[in-house]
Amino acid sequence: MDRPGHEHEFPSRGDRPVCVLLRGLSRDARHWDGFDRHLSRAWPGAAPRLLMPDLPGNGRAHLLTSASRIEAMVEPLREQVAEAGLAGRPLHLLAMSMGAMVAIAWAQAHPREIAGLVLVNTSVRPFSRFWQRLQPRAWPALLASQAGLLPPAEQEAAILALTSRIAADSPGAKALLARWTDWQEAWPVRRSNALRQLLAAARFRAPDQAPPVPVLLLAGAGDRLVDPVCSRSLASAWRVPLHEHPQAGHDLPLDDPAWVAAEAAAFLARQPSPAVAPAAAQSPLTAATPVPGKSVKTPSTPSFM
C-alpha cells in the first residue's frame, strides 16, 4: 500500500478499466475495508484497476490542510491519478457521502475524464433542506465526534451507530471498532480539518442538471445520518436512476458490500469510455501548480454526508 492513492493491483493489467473509490467526511482509504475485493469480483470481465485516494486532511494525508470548498478537493485527486500513471485513462468514480460531492464537482469540471458516476447516500443543495442533508437527531453525536470532544474509541463508536444499520449489530462490530480506533490513533484527523470538511459539504451546491456523464444513485433506506429523501430528490431533479437498499444505513458499502458492488459494477462496466485527451496533453494533471437488499429503481428518462 505504498503507491500513490492506495492503488489495488491485480495480476493482469492490460487495458482494464480504472475505478476510483472516494470516501466521505473524515474517512480514508482504509475504511473501504475489503469492499475493493467485492467490487473486483462483481465486475464483469477483467477486474478493474482500483485507486483509493485520500483527501488532504484524511488518512495518509492527515498532516495536510483540508480544503473548505468541495471544488478545491478535485485537483489533489487528479494529481494522485497522474502519479499512479493513469492520466488520460477514462475513470469510473464510485463515491459516497461527501466523496460523492467531490465526484460531482470533478465530473462537472472535467467530464471528458469520467466514464461514469455511482453516488452513494449523498445530499446536495439546492435539492435538499439542511435538516434533510443532516438529520437533527444526528447533530449532537456528529458534532461531538468531529469536534474532537470524544476519545477515539467513543468517537468511532458514535460514528458507527450513526452510519450503520447492519454492520453495527453484527458479530464483527467489536473488531470493526477496534480497527477504526487504531486507524484514528495512527493517523488522526485534526479537529480543524474535520470542521473544514463539514463546512465544505454544507455549502456545496450541485448543478441544476446532472453532469454530462452517466450517473447512478445508490441509497440506504435506513440512513440515520442523511435522509434518504435527499437521493430521491436528486434522482428526480437530474432524471437519473436510483437504486435503494431497504435496510442499510449511511455507510452502505459497510452494511452490504456485495449489494453495492453488484449494483455499481453492473452500471459502470456497461458505460462507454469518453474521448479522453492523451495524457501528455492533460497539463492540469501534471503541472506544478496546483443482509442482501432488493433494488428499488426510480424510472429514468434518456438523458448526493
DSSP 305: -
DSSP 36: H
Nearest to 77 by CA among 202, 255, 59: 59
Nearest to 279 by CA among 81, 94, 106: 81
3-state helix, strand, coil in the chain (%, to 5): 45, 10, 45
Q: How far apart are CA 82 and CA 278, in angstroms?
A: 12
Residue by residue, pLDDT tens for the chain (305 residues) are 333 455 443 333 457 899 999 999 999 999 999 999 999 999 998 899 999 999 999 999 999 999 999 999 999 999 999 999 999 999 999 999 999 999 999 999 999 999 999 999 999 999 998 888 888 888 788 777 777 778 899 999 999 999 999 999 999 999 999 999 999 999 999 999 999 999 999 999 999 999 999 999 999 999 999 999 999 999 999 999 999 999 999 999 999 999 999 999 999 999 877 755 444 333 333 232 233 343 444 333 222 23
Nearest to 271 by CA among 220, 212, 228: 212
Query: Structure pTM?
Result: 0.85
Distances (CA, A) of 153 to 50, 192, 271, 287: 30, 20, 42, 41
* Residues 7-297, CATH architecture: 3-Layer(aba) Sandwich (3.40)
